[in-house]
Amino acid sequence: AAEKSYAAVDLGASSGRVMVGRVGPDSLELAEAHRFPNRPVRVPEGLRWDVLGLYAGVLDGLRAAGAHCGGRLDSVGIDSWAVDYGLLDADGALLGNPVHYRDPRTEGVAEKVWATVPAEELYAATGLQYAPFNTLYQLTAARSTAQLDEARRLLLMPDLLTYWLTGEQGTELTNASTTQLIDPRTRDWAYDVASRLGIDLDLFAPLRQPGDPAGLLRGEVLEETGLAGPVPVTAVGSHDTASAVAAVPASGERFAYICTGTWSLAGLELDAPVLTEESRAANFTNELGLDGTVRYLRNIMGLWLLQECVRSWGETDLGALLLKASKAPALRSVVDAGDAAFLAPGRMPERIAEACRLSGQPVPESPAEVTRCILDSLALAHRKAVQDAQRLAGHAVDVVHVVGGGTRNALLCQLTADACGLPVVAGPTEAAALGNVLVQARAHGLVGDLAGMRRLLVNTQPLTRYEPRGGTERWHAAQARLAGD
């Protein structure tokens, strides 16, 4: 048949899902086969991912996906959050639970790294923004631990799950670019940085490009999922943000994007990295995208701030909370949503209140007021990232595409349009899964280049447009308040 069925496994920091994409030359439909929570676990040694639970969720999801298409899948692709990894011993067995990027083990580690490779040189060589959880810092924090000493192989999360499904090992490039061990100009390892920091690149499996074959589902997996073999696994843009950016339904080049979920990743798609000192100071990252593109963006704390508040309030009705927040006074208090001080879990309403108090603003009291403060702050951070990226890259835009779970939050989309003073086009919500599906379809010759993928999205996916309502000077003033001007 001209139409094919692909399973996209998309693991976000808050939930995992297995989606089924049906793709034809002019059609693209996405259905959810299975969704499961992704709950980090705190054990005595720190914060860990429940990787076996996630793998079980993937198997359940593949079974459900098969049921959607008569037991026949044309291929499977996996993407997940960045930077984290599992270590394998000489027999290929997993050593311990993968460490969560919010684990505090990397505190104070960057300074040690910079004593060997100064921060300026590191940026010039890797183009990656400073984040304490970059794999480079995680590996430095783990130096001389029994586990790392024992390790013979390191697999990033999507590569680890691919290995369990197929028995084959690789390191997919877009996600590898978040390790801070890749040179964004050569799109190959940053050999010099690694050797100066004593990081053994042989730990990594050979690089794979999005679209490369990544093996066949093992017999045992076919048995467990009821799928009819052979089912190939295809490397996709395995960094969830790379897949999401591939699925931004843009026409032309004058667009910014914001991938909103647990994080907000806001920036531009470029042909070449921006490695200037100014860009480093502004904490912009150059991650690698499809087809030689660079994802030039800034990490903003995102809906994590709200997730953590909702968790601490025990609130279950997000819709009602957002409705109340839409009626709360606008721009009363804002916090710096880019501040790494919000990275760790716990006590989020108190930490937000404290930040407002310290910057001399009214302290939000009710859940509706705190929620409004978070959404205003996110919109403000979106504005700043979109403005800074245009200036630093010399690349102007006239539309902002918002994709990911945050597109369900109409207030956030409208505030983002207002703050940026630009129209926002919201959707698709499951952008990462769509980008994942489209790269598989492309590997099978069903769709063309990135522009062709995007045309198909524009023609098939429901999108919502938000026009800016004016009043950008109020956002400018809020930004000044934050900077203490």
Binding residues (CB under 6 A) for ligand ADP: these are 12-15, 261-262, 303, 306-307, 318, 322, 404-406, 408-409
> In this complex, which beta carbon is closest to ligand LRH, that of residue 408 or of residue 476?
408
- Indicate the angle between helix axes 109-116 and 119-126, nearest 10 degrees: 80
Residue whose C-alpha is closest to residue 335's, from 153, 140, 482: 482
Residue whose C-alpha is closest to residue 306's, from 367, 382, 355: 367
Q: Say if CB 359 and CB 217 are below 8 A apart.
A: no
> Least distance to ligand LRH from the beta carbon of 229, Å?
31
Distance CA 413, CA 127 (A): 29
Judged by beta carbon distances under 5 to 8 A according to partner kind, the member of ligand ADP, ligand LRH, none in contact with residue 299 is: ligand LRH
For the record, the structure tokens of 99 come out as 């460490």
> Least distance to ligand ADP from the beta carbon of 404, Å?
4
Residue 10 falls in the annotated catalytic set? no
Judged by beta carbon distances under 5 to 8 A according to partner kind, the member of ligand ADP, ligand LRH, none in contact with residue 338 is: none
Q: Which of 81, 204, 284, 475 binds ligand LRH (CB under 6 A)?
A: 81
Under the criterion CB under 6 A, does residue 12 sit at the interface with ligand LRH? yes
> In this complex, which beta carbon is closest to ligand ADP, that of residue 249 or of residue 406?
406
What backbone phi and psi angles, to 5 degrees, belong to 216?
A: -115, 150
> In this complex, which beta carbon is closest to ligand LRH, that of residue 101 or of residue 164?
101
Residue whose C-alpha is closest to residue 33's, from 17, 48, 22: 17
Under the criterion CB under 6 A, does residue 13 sit at the interface with ligand LRH? yes
Binding mask 216-245 for ligand LRH (x = CB under 6 A): -----------------------xxx----
- Tell me how long the chain is: 485
At residue 66, what is the residue type? Answer: G
> Least distance to ligand ADP from the beta carbon of 31, Å?
16
> Least distance to ligand ADP from the beta carbon of 235, Å?
20
Q: Which strand ranges, in their side-by-side order, compose the sheet holding 294-300?
A: 285-288, 294-300, 264-270, 255-260, 399-403, 424-426, 464-466
Judged by beta carbon distances under 5 to 8 A according to partner kind, the member of ligand LRH, ligand ADP, none in contact with residue 83 is: ligand LRH
> Least distance to ligand ADP from the beta carbon of 375, Å?
10
Judged by beta carbon distances under 5 to 8 A according to partner kind, the member of ligand LRH, ligand ADP, none in contact with residue 371 is: none
> In this complex, which beta carbon is closest to ligand LRH, that of residue 284 or of residue 475?
284
Number of residues that bind ligand LRH (CB under 6 A): 13
> Least distance to ligand ADP from the beta carbon of 112, Å?
30
Segment interacting with ligand LRH, rule: CB under 6 A, options 31-39, 68-76, 258-266, 372-380: 258-266
Between the CA of residue 269 and those of 179, 242, 286, 335, 432, what are the distances in Å?
A: 19, 10, 10, 27, 16
What backbone phi and psi angles, to 5 degrees, belong to 236?
A: -115, -170
Under the criterion CB under 6 A, does residue 248 sit at the interface with ligand LRH? no
Distance CA 443, CA 212 (A): 8
Q: Say if CB 268 and CB 286 are below 8 A apart.
A: no
Contacts of 358 (CB under 8 A, 6+ apart): none
> Least distance to ligand ADP from the beta carbon of 188, Å?
29
Under the criterion CB under 6 A, does residue 101 sit at the interface with ligand LRH? yes
Q: Say if CB 334 and CB 383 are below 8 A apart.
A: no
C-alpha dihedral over 289, 413, 418, 247, to 10 degrees? 20
Q: Please report the DSSP string for 243-263 in residue order.
A: HHHHT----SS-EEEEEESSS
Burial of residue 317 (CB within 10 Å: 0-12, 13-18, 19+) is exposed
Q: Which of 299, 333, 429, 440 binds ligand LRH (CB under 6 A)?
A: 299
> In this complex, which beta carbon is closest to ligand ADP, that of residue 32 or of residue 354?
32
Judged by beta carbon distances under 5 to 8 A according to partner kind, the member of ligand LRH, ligand ADP, none in contact with residue 404 is: ligand ADP
User: Count of CB atoms within 10 A of residue 323's CB?
Assistant: 12
> Least distance to ligand LRH from the beta carbon of 246, Å?
13
Judged by beta carbon distances under 5 to 8 A according to partner kind, the member of ligand ADP, ligand LRH, none in contact with residue 407 is: none
Strands 232-234 and 153-156: unpaired
Judged by beta carbon distances under 5 to 8 A according to partner kind, the member of ligand LRH, ligand ADP, none in contact with residue 101 is: ligand LRH
Judged by beta carbon distances under 5 to 8 A according to partner kind, the member of ligand ADP, ligand LRH, none in contact with residue 82 is: ligand LRH
Q: Which of 240, 336, 376, 418 is catalytic?
A: 240
> In this complex, which beta carbon is closest to ligand ADP, that of residue 232 or of residue 405?
405
Return residues touching ligand LRH (CB under 6 A). Answer: 12-13, 81-83, 101, 239-241, 262-263, 265, 299
Q: Which of the residues are catalytic? A: 240
